[in-house]
Chains A and B, each alone.
Chain A
Amino acid sequence: MSTTAETLQNNTQLDAWLDQKLDELLPKKLADIDAQRTPSMSIIATKGTLDWAYPPFILASTASALGWDVDVFFTFYGLLLLKKDIDAEVSPLGNPAMPMKMPFGPKWFQDFAWPMPNLIMAGIPGFEKVATGLMKKTFKNKGVASVEELRSLCLEADVKMVACQMTVDVFGFDPGEFIPEVTDFVGATSFLPVAQKSDVCLFI
């Protein structure tokens, strides 16, 4: 029968042995667990202009290509990106950093940044249509996918798209206007727990 002193010594030895074993095994175990899990990303898409339509769809489609689980929560003007026909435009108004370049003509002409004051660009009637046309042409020339194309690639790759119920109500959207893949109309309360568990969370 062992004495108290012997038991204590045994416990200390056991603790030391356990510590050493854990140090040996834990890093590999944790790395294994990390390698097994699927990374995830949550995006909150809040903008509906042509320029800002790109980032959520580019990131979502790329993440899905990397094998990540992706959730996108569309709210406010981002809801426009869920409409069957995306008629997103870009406005030079309040967009002073937008480069003004022509997507046609000789190279020197294309490289020329038009020094047009924002107020004038924004004030000319029809300028938004022109700016939108120029931006679409520029993207096409550079081999960038259209927003519609990126969105369908996202849907093909099972990117989950949900709409914010509150802003759907506030702006008077009819759920029938949206692509049929949007089946969930939820609030912040439903989205935040998803965002909490994701590795990457972006507000766009």
Chain B
Amino acid sequence: MTAIAQKLDARGLNCPLPILRTRKAINQMESGELVEVTATDPGSIKDMQAFCKQTGNRLVSSSEADNSFVFLIEKA
């Protein structure tokens, strides 16, 4: 499995900041690289799905741990 190129801590941030920070991180990555985003905003679960669907990046996984949500996204 490809190593995680970037880790983004979006804990404590609310809509739309987790998405904006994710976009920023992805913009600096190469195609095929992975970013791991950690967020606490409960809205981020649906938002990340919608973001990935719309931008064509792949939501590899979405999980919940220690009251935060962890998303793994592969840049298209």
Contact = CB atoms under 8 A, between A and B. Distances in A.
Contact of B55 (A67, A142, A145): A67
Given A65-B51, A66-B54, A66-B55, A143 B13 contact: yes
A65 B23 CA distance: 6
A144 B19 CA distance: 12
Contacts, number: 36
Contact of B20 (A65, A67, A142, A143): A65
A62 interface: yes
B23 A143 contact: no
A65 B12 CA distance: 19
B5 interface: no
A88 interface: no
Interface size band for A: 10 to 19
Interface string B27-66: 0000000000000110000000001001100000000000
Interface of A: 58, 61-62, 64-67, 142-145, 150, 153, 157
19 contacts: A58-B16, A61-B16, A61-B20, A62-B16, A64-B23, A65-B16, A65-B19, A65-B22, A65-B51, A66-B55, A67-B54, A67-B55, A143-B17, A143-B40, A143-B41, A145-B13, A145-B16, A145-B17, A150-B16
